[in-house]
Amino acid sequence: MTFKNIALQIAYDGTNFSGYQIQKNKRSVQEEVEKAIKKVTNENIRTFCAGRTDAGVHAKCQVINFLTNTKIKASKFYFHLQKFLPDDIKAISSREVSLYFHSRFSAKNKEYHYVINTQKNMHPIYRNYMENVTYNLNFELLNEGLNILKGKHDFKAFMLNEKDVIINTERILKDCKFERKKNKIILEFVAESFLHNQVRIMSGSLISLSRGQISLDEFKSYLTNPNKKAGPTLKAGGLYLERINY
């Protein structure tokens, strides 16, 4: 029996999911995708993803891979899969990759965007897709804060507290910047990997800095004093897995 490894690119609206990973009695992206793959291949498939997004987090580009014995051409697999996926998941493309390819461990880096609305009276249809910040912001301070975060640091202060979990909290933030588009601010972060809730906590801390709620020195101390806690944690709906670079 000859297996092939298929890399599948998908996008999804995370609003009604408990997250990417399968969880008991909760709706997940992984479960929906694996059910759809089974309908196409008649195989019980285990998928691997580039990054496990949390409940409410969206993905414009999530990459998964799986081994299959299907005779369907890898480049056409996404087309056959789409009709079995729910409306909040879209299969974008598929291709055959080396058997050594792993969507997570083969990735060079991941890029997340956090989207903030700055217009007063944001329409309620956007509430699950942007954070709402209508205070006056100092964009010079925002840029300074981003430059401070860039590079290799201990980001423990920017991680969700998890009991009995011991991990290396040092990460390399390869790039971080912001872009203004009409009534939106887009914070962009690139790294090989991120801690749990790191992007949402960094985004909240940057807004606090830009509003003048904390000083630049206090912001810097989040990276030098691992016992401090940064924040606040902005809501999940403003966060997007933008792309995976291989």
110-140 per-position pLDDT tens digit: 999 999 999 888 888 888 999 999 989 999 9
Please determine, for residue 187, whether its predicted confidence score (pLDDT) is greater than 90: yes
- The answer to whether residue 54 is catalytic is yes
Exposure string of 53-92, with b = 16+ CB inside 10 Å and e = fewer, is bbbbbbbbbbbbbbebebebebeebbebbeebbbebbbbe
Answer whether 122's CB lies under 8 Å from 185's CB.
Answer: no
Q: Residues 145-152: what's their mean pLDDT?
A: 97
**pLDDT class of 182 with cuts at 50, 70, 90:** confident
Catalytic residue among 54, 87, 175, 217: 54
Give the length of the chain: 246
- Amino acid found at 88: D
Which range has the worst mean pLDDT, 22-36, 39-53, 158-172, 229-243?
158-172
For the residues 180-203, what does the mean pLDDT come to?
96
In terms of Cβ atoms closer than 10 Å to its own Cβ (0-12, 13-18, 19+), residue 14 is buried
CA separation for the pair 93, 129 (Å, rounded): 24
What is the reported pLDDT for 123? 85
Residue 23 contacts by C-beta under 8 Å, 6 or more apart in sequence? none
Q: Is the pLDDT of residue 1 over 90?
A: no
Element (H, E) at 96: strand 89-97
pTM of the predicted structure, to 2 decimals? 0.94
Task: Identify the residue with better confidence: 124 or 154.
Answer: 154
pLDDT of residue 25: 93
CA dihedral sign, ordered 64, 171, 157, 220: negative
Q: Which residue has the tokens 């910047």?
A: 177
Mean pLDDT value across the chain: 95
How confident is the model at residue 38, as a pLDDT? Answer: 97
